[in-house]
Amino acid sequence: MDCLFCKIVSGDIPSKKIYEDDRVLAFYDIDPKAPVHFLVIPKDHIKNVLEIPSKKLDIVSHIFKVIQNIAVELNLNEGFRIVNNCGEQGGQTVDHLHFHVLGGRNLGWPPG
Ligand code: 5GP
Ligand code: ZN
C-alpha cells in the first residue's frame, strides 16, 4: 500500500522520532505550524477516525497516554492543542490516522 506514514513506520522514509513502542510512533511534523509540532500515529494502517474498528478503539486512549507523557517531557505545561483532521472537509492530507500536537505559542481559535 502506498501510504506515507506506513513508510515512516517501516523506516523507508526517515523521521525525527520522539517515541516508539509496539503500537504507536510519535515524530516531529516536517512542516511545523508551531514551535512544537509532532504527530502520533498507530503503527497499524487505519485511514482516519471514521475507519477505526470498534475493537481497535483502545489505540486512541493509548495515543492520548503517549501524548500526556511527551507533553510532560517537552515541558508543554502551559498548554497545547491536539488536532485530528478527518476526511476532505476536515483537511486530512495523509490518509493514515494521526493526531497533531501543537504547542509553544498561543494558538488561535477558531481554526480557519
Ligand atoms: P493532515 O493535513 O493530514 O492532518 O496532516 C498531515 C501532516 O503530515 C502535515 O502537517 C504535514 O506537514 C505532515 N507530513 C507530510 N509529509 C511528511 C513527512 O514526510 N514527514 C513528516 N515528519 N511529516 C510529514
Ligand atoms: Zn498507512
39-88 pLDDT per residue, tens: 999 999 999 999 999 999 999 999 999 999 999 999 999 999 999 999 99
- Mean pLDDT for the chain overall: 97
Residue 111's pLDDT is what?
85
pLDDT value for 82: 98
CB of 91 sitting under 6 A from ligand 1: yes
Name the grid cell of 50. Answer: 471514521
pTM over 0.95, yes/no: yes
How high is the pLDDT of residue 87? 98
pLDDT at residue 89 tops 90: yes
- Cβ of 32 less than 6 Å from ligand 1: no
- Which pLDDT score, from 0 to 100, does residue 6 have? 98
Question: Given a cut of 90, is residue 1 above it in pLDDT?
Answer: no
Closest ligand to the CA of 94:
1
Q: Which ligand is nearest to the CA of 12?
A: 1
Using omega within 30 degrees of 0 as the cis cutoff, is the peptide bond preceding 110 cis? yes
List active site positions: 98
